[in-house]
Amino acid sequence: MDSIDLTGKVAIITGASSGFGAETAIAFARFGARLSLIGRDEVRLLETVNKCTAVNNIVPLFIPLDLAHTGACEAVVNKTVETYGRIDILVNSAGKMALSFLSDNSMENVDELMNINFRIPYYLSQLVLPYLVKTKGNIVNIGSSMSKRSTPGMLGYTVSKAALQMFSRQAAFELAPKGVRINCISPGPSNTNLLAKLIVHHPELRDQINSNFQESTFDGKMLDPKEVALLICLTASDVFPSLNGSDMLLDGAACTA
């Protein structure tokens, strides 16, 4: 099998300030990609930038902003093209996790989850498509294996991730004739900032949340984000040119637990 080589490829990675996005940025740098890193937390984003620079001695473009703000997605694409002249890969790694129930008295949580976990990746994909057609590039979305099972309090989150997974499958039919690939990777419970933020916002549920996530794995261990990052690199590379419209589970069979 050919080895992973992203030399010269220009990749936009959202959510690059922590978790899967940060680890993916470092891995992409190791495989030679030129990076456009997006994140809301400027301090954490700069930490990722420094780690990428240490890997290949190239300072990536980094854009600290909130993609939910008006004009932010356009700014990311425009700045990336101004800097590099092309786009080869889009990794939609930014996401949000929050408790939500059908019995809630408001749609606020669900609307925010759908916007961050589905609408923004969809819109960014629209914006980068003309450039991906030129480079025969690809999109990698980050779903969740939680959408494959029932998890208390995760209704809005799992629905938003399921929408992203279905988008990846259905869009492949439209993009394949253009020479563009789109795939989704759905990791299981992992040690990322999403879970930490959920616990911070609901400290009274700390033990219950940790217990629920650990019980959803066979050995009680969380997934290492570095493993997810490597699969993203493999998917975005040219190793499997026919890999398109896939939703790949990486959860140690957690969704069947």
CA angle 222, 224, 228 (to 5 degrees): 120
Q: What is the pLDDT of residue 181?
A: 98
What pLDDT sits at residue 108?
Answer: 92
Instruction: Report the amino acid identity of residue 234.
Output: L
**Per-residue pLDDT for 250 more than 90?**
no
pLDDT, residue 200, reads 41
For residue 100, the SS3 value is strand
Tens of pLDDT along 199-229?
445 555 445 545 555 555 555 677 889 999 9
- Give pLDDT, residue 16: 97
88 has a pLDDT exceeding 90:
yes
Catalytic residues: 157
Res 203: pLDDT: 56
**Mean per-residue pLDDT, 184-204:** 64
Hey, how many other C-beta atoms are within 10 angstroms of the C-beta on 208?
13
Report, as an integer, the average pLDDT of 29-38. Answer: 98
Look up the pTM and report it.
0.89
Domains and CATH numbers, the chain: 10-193+224-251 (3.40.50.720)
CA distance 158 to 122: 17
Indicate whether 12 pLDDT > 50.
yes
- Name the residue among 88, 76, 82, 183 with its Cα closest to residue 129: 88
